[in-house]
Amino acid sequence: MKLGIKNKVIVVTGGANGIGEAIVRGLYAEGALPVIVDKDYKKAKKIAKELNGINSPGVFKCDLADHLMTESVIEDICNLYPEIYGLVNNAGVNDGVGLDADISQFESSLCKNLTHYFQMTKGFIEKIKREEGSIVNISSKVSLTGQGGTSGYAAAKGAINSLTREWAVELAPYNVDVNCIIPAEVMTPQYQKWISQDKSASVRLSHIVQKINLGHRLTQPEEIANYALFLLSDKSSHFTGQWVFVDGGYTHLDDSKEYE
């Protein structure tokens, strides 16, 4: 399927690892011009070197929790790319900031997981309007189910869901569509790190996969990327303000049935 995103500049935050990396690689394969914004500059450069073609990814080092650094990177990208079609707001971390944290830790969690979504969107929106482009926000099932012990992350992801619909309304007159992907349990490097470091992780993981109705397995980053590419493409041209659950049924389907 030709997605109609060839030669289109699409910025991906957190594009050096996990879901973001899978999206960058998918964009490259479709002939788009991905731009990686990530504090893991070494890994981002490695990806760009590997994807060495006429649409090799652009790379910008940025700690997105730093508002001044983010503003500077936005300006640099705008100066380098006269046209920007799309934005994938993806960067974030489930940092375990719960009710036992102080207010500064809670605010820091929001900076890591929410504030830069607004800042990046605001920074690129005039260019995206001119291109009648697309914005994809990456959220989490925690925004709807809760998890416990992660107030900052849950608050940020809930806000991202709401901003998706707010921006979809505000940008509809400009033919800019805004949608949100809500993953659940995805086999990212962060997830792998948890499995390798937590002695009880394998037991907990076995319980988790039994609750994932479709295939009893974790979602792969590439599966999230496939939906991100669709939402960025011409194929989803009349689709906006939606929360798309790519989770094997984990969030909504009844998991009480005994499977054979």
CA gap 251, 147 in Å, rounded:
12
The sign of the CA dihedral 36, 133, 8, 83 is negative
CA gap 62, 41 in Å, rounded:
8
Beta-strand runs (E) in 56-210: 58-61, 86-89, 134-138, 177-183
Catalytic residue among 28, 117, 153, 227: 153
Query: Which residues, including other chains, have CB under 8 Å from residue 47's CB and lie 6 or more apart?
Result: 15, 16, 21, 24, 25, 36, 57, 59
How far is C-alpha 147 from the geometric centre of its chain's CA atoms? 19
Running DSSP on this structure, what letter comes out for residue 219? B
Question: Token match 């937590």: residue?
Answer: 198
Q: Could you tell me the CA-to-CA distances from 226 to 40, 48, 246 in Å, in that order?
A: 23, 20, 10
Indicate if 191 belongs to the active site. no
Which H/E stretch holds residue 105?
Answer: helix 103-110
SS3 65: coil
**Catalytic residue numbers?**
153
